[in-house]
Amino acid sequence: MFANSFLDVEGPSYQNLDQYLEDENEDVVRAIELSLQESKGKETYIGDLEFPQNDEVEKVAQVLEESTLSSADLSTEGCELKWWKLLKELNPSVHTSKGKSWWRKSSKRCNTPVCDVCEEQICSEWLRCTYWGQSVCKKHTSDGTPWCCACSRFKIGDIRYITLSDGRQLCPDCCYTAVMDPEDCKPLLDEVHRFFKGLNMKIRYYIPILLVDQEEIIRIHKKSILGSTIYEKFELDAVTYVSKSIQRGENVEVVKEVEQLLPGRKVRSVLLLYGFPKLFIGSTLAHELMHAWMRVQGYRGLSLNIAEGLSQVMAHKWLEWQSFTGDDYMKAASEKTQFLRNLKEFLKYGIEKRHSEAYGHGFREAKWAVERYGLRYTLEHIARTGKLPE
């Protein structure tokens, strides 16, 4: 099964973000950023700055001293720290120089942060995502404010968000390339197969690729995930899939049909959660087809770290493989093309910085092996030993 910080196994959920709390050193780094920001009267980003270790305490103290903020100032701003950390895995902190922010800024200029949703000064806990340039009051995570299930951006102003049949919502940018029904999925499937063929890993085995909604995913797996590979031992006879989608205003309705799964096959089907952008679905499909490829090739008994780590490597490689140069419908839409480039980096960063053991640590171990020894040798070594080369 596949996921990253934005392709999460449990799916994006602001009710379950406490699991992403990190160590207290992050508070120090963020406090430095906030203190510098207020003292200089402008935004300062830490980007990918590493958290300070014990031998860096002296440097931290010096920066705090130079910021000229009192302990009372840091305590006041400290209300923001907890919620900034809670959202960090869903919305990684990446320097906004990678692309122009889609979110408009409030015209208010003051030291107190302003919420981009309600445009009111924030006096309590709030969320900060430097990648998309958003600051949001904590209350908007539970007051019904729409947020995009793909890029995690909150709805601002009169921007029209689309509501999918299962309740998920999409921003207009993500909706532009969303895979809504099998007709949208066919060219993407051909693209992913071409990607595997380019790596000398052509998939000759017939595998039904089915788009499903969140209700069907939860029925099968008892939790919300973005995709799954159904093997021969999985006790599932049929899948209710999305055969057609119809948009009516700001809502999407779907027509469903039932697919009977053939018994006795090594890989019976791959399920994908419909409605995500092409980049999102494509990376999920690359992940799941890597699971399928390994099963067809006879890989057995692999640890979760190796199986998921290699599949995450393929998802990451597929995103790197995307250039958008061949998309005719994008040639005259430079702003949308730039958004796709930003979204691609957003998804790649989410895979790279994932915290979980299998999807995060497993990915980084597999990526190191592939970069050092090459994909072919790494796979051959795993086939022989069941372990990554060291």
Look-up of token digits 């209350």: 139
Rounded distance between C-alpha atoms, residue 41 and residue 44, angstroms: 9
Q: At what angle do helices 304-321 and 278-296 cross, to 10 degrees?
A: 130
What pLDDT is recorded for position 255? 97
What pLDDT is recorded for position 279? 95
Which of 204, 189, 142 is closest to 16 using CA atoms? 142
In terms of average pLDDT, the best of 1-10, 114-123, 171-180, 333-342 is 171-180
Residue 77 neighbours by CB distance under 10 Å: 20
* Average pLDDT score, the chain: 75
- What is 135-204 written as a DSSP string? EEEGGGGTS---B-TTT-PBP-TTPPPEEPTTS-EE-HHHHHTB--SHHHHHHHHHHHHHHHHHTT----
343 versus 29: the higher-pLDDT residue is 343
What pLDDT is recorded for position 244? 96
* Residue 194 predicted with pLDDT over 70: yes
What pLDDT is recorded for position 111? 60
pLDDT in tens, 99-155: 333 333 333 444 678 888 888 888 777 777 767 878 888 888 888 889 999 998 999
What pLDDT is recorded for position 165? 96
| DSSP E strand stretches across 261-373 | 267-273
Average pLDDT of the residues in 287-295: 96
In terms of average pLDDT, the best of 66-80, 136-150, 271-285 is 271-285
Lowest mean pLDDT among 90-104, 226-240, 261-275, 375-389: 90-104
pLDDT band of residue 55 (cuts 50, 70, 90) is very low
What pLDDT is recorded for position 97? 29
Give the bridge partners for 255, in sequence order. 244
Q: Which residues, other chains included, contact 107 with Cβ-Cβ below 8 Å and sequence gap of 6+?
A: none
Portion of the chain with pLDDT greater than 90, in percent: 51
pTM of the model: 0.71
pLDDT band of residue 327 (cuts 50, 70, 90) is low
Rounded distance between C-alpha atoms, residue 322 and residue 280, angstroms: 12
CA 211 to chain CA centroid, Å, is 19
Q: Which residues, other chains included, contact 314 with Cβ-Cβ below 8 Å and sequence gap of 6+?
A: 286, 287, 289, 290
What is the DSSP code (8-state) at residue 359?
Answer: I
- What is 221-262 written as a DSSP string? HSS--SEEEEETTS---EEEEEEEEEEETTEEEEEEEEEEPP
64 versus 387: the higher-pLDDT residue is 387
Lowest mean pLDDT among 174-178, 336-340, 349-353: 336-340
What pLDDT is recorded for position 204? 86
370 versus 132: the higher-pLDDT residue is 370
pLDDT in tens, 217-261: 999 999 999 999 999 888 899 999 999 999 999 999 999 999 999
What pLDDT is recorded for position 60? 37
47 versus 368: the higher-pLDDT residue is 368
Rounded distance between C-alpha atoms, residue 234 and residue 267, angstroms: 10
Lowest mean pLDDT among 115-119, 126-130, 301-305, 339-343: 126-130
Average pLDDT of the residues in 182-199: 94
